[in-house]
A and B are shown apart, each in its own frame.
Chain A
Amino acid sequence: MIDLYIMLVFLICAALVAVEMEDLLSAVVAVSAVGLGISISFLILKAPEVAITQVVVEILCLILLIRATIHKDLPFSTSGRWFINTTIAVVFVVMFIGAISLALQDMPPFGSPIMRVGSLYLRDGFAQTGATNLVTAVVLNYRAYDRLGEMTLLFTAFLGVLVVLRRRGRVTPGKTGEEDEE
C-alpha cells in the first residue's frame, strides 16, 4: 500500500509542476508524467486494462499537445481583475471540497466494494460469454451499449474535426463534396 501513496505524492508534485511551469512544452511534459503516474497507480491497484488504455491514450494526447504547442508561444495573462478571479476560484474550490466530502461518506470503504452485479459477473461471466478476459466480457457482451455510445462519441468527434478543420475550404459549392456523406 505504501507504493500507492508514494505514487500519489508523485502525482500531486507533478501536477503542481505542470501548473507552475512557465514554458508550455515543459508543462506538457509534466502533464505526461502525471498520466504515467496514473497508469502505474492503476497497475498497483491491479487494473491492467485501465492501465493499458491510460498509457496509450496518454501517448496520443501527449503527441497532439506537443504538436500543437511546440511552435506556439501562448502568453499567460497575469494582469486584470485578479482579486475577483481568485475569489471565485476559492469559492468554487471550497464548494467542490464540501460536496466531495459529503459524497464520499456514502462510498463503501476502500478494498471492499459492493458486489451485487459484479459477483454475478465473476461467477457466471466465463460460462455465459466464453471470454476469459472478464473486462472485455462485460464491456462487449453484458454492457455493449456503453461501448456503442463510446464509439458514437468518437465518430462525432471525427466528423466534427473533418467538418470544422478543413485544409482548403469549399471554394465553389459542389466541387469538393466528400464531407457530406454522413
Chain B
Amino acid sequence: MTVPESHSFSIVVRTTARYVVRVMMIFGFYVMFHGQISHGDGFAGGVILGLAFIMMMLVFGTEAAMRYFSRPLAPRLVSVGGLFFLTIAISGFSGGYYLFNFIGQGQVFKVWGAGIVPLCNVAIGLMTTTCLIGIYAGLTRFKPGPGGKQ
C-alpha cells in the first residue's frame, strides 16, 4: 500500500493499523453474523466494518483507500443491500404478511438459525457499512469549487 508523501503518520501508526484493520473487520463480521445469538446486530457490525475502512482512510490517506472502494461502487452496494432487505420483506407474503418469518425458527445457536433474522442482518450490515463509508468520504473529500457552481 503506497503512502503519499504528505502524510504525517509515523511508521508505528501505519504498521499497527495494517494489522488492526483485519481484526476490526473480523470483529465486525462476527457481530453482524451473530446478531441473533449474542449482543449486537447488523447495524453495530456494519458500523464496526465502516470504522475499519475509515481508519484505513485516515492512516493511509483517502486516495489509497478509495482504490478498494471506488465512487460508483457505493450506490450500487447500498442499493443491493436495500433490495435484499426488500426481497426478504416481500417474500414474507408467501407465509402471510409483510416481513413474515417465512423460513421458520431453525436451529438454535446456529449462525443461519433464526429464520430471516441473519439475512436481514447481512442486508443491514451491507447498507450501513457502505452508507457510512460513503458519507465519510463525501464529507472529507469535498472541496468547494470556485463560484460554488463548478
Contact = CB atoms under 8 A, between A and B. Distances in A.
B114 A130 contact: yes
B71 A145 contact: no
B60 to A, nearest CB: 15
A52 B117 contact: no
A132 B41 contact: no
Given A130-B113, A141-B115, A49 B39 contact: yes
A133 B99 contact: no
B115 A178 contact: no
Contacts of A68: 139
Nearest to A59: B51
Interface string A159-176: 101100111110100000
Nearest to B50: A60
B124 A147 contact: yes
A179 B82 CA distance: 17
A168 B131 CA distance: 20
Contacts of A26: none
Given A131-B36, A133-B37, A133-B39, A64 B136 contact: yes
B7 to A, nearest CB: 14
A154 interface: yes
Contacts of A141: 101, 114-117
A144 B47 CA distance: 19
B141 interface: yes
A14 B84 CA distance: 42
**Size bracket of the B interface:** 35 or more
B108 A140 contact: no
B142 interface: yes
Interface string B118-150: 001100100110111011101111110100011
B20 interface: no
Interface in A44-72: 48-49, 52-53, 56-57, 59-60, 63-64, 67-68
B4 interface: no
**Residue in B39, B79, B142 with the greatest tally of chain A CB atoms within 10 Å:** B39
B58 interface: yes
Contact of B108 (A130, A135, A158, A165): A130
Contacts of B71: 178
22 contacts: A53-B44, A60-B47, A60-B54, A60-B132, A68-B139, A129-B117, A130-B104, A130-B115, A131-B117, A133-B39, A140-B120, A148-B99, A151-B81, A151-B82, A155-B131, A158-B75, A162-B74, A165-B139, A169-B145, A171-B150, A178-B72, A181-B76
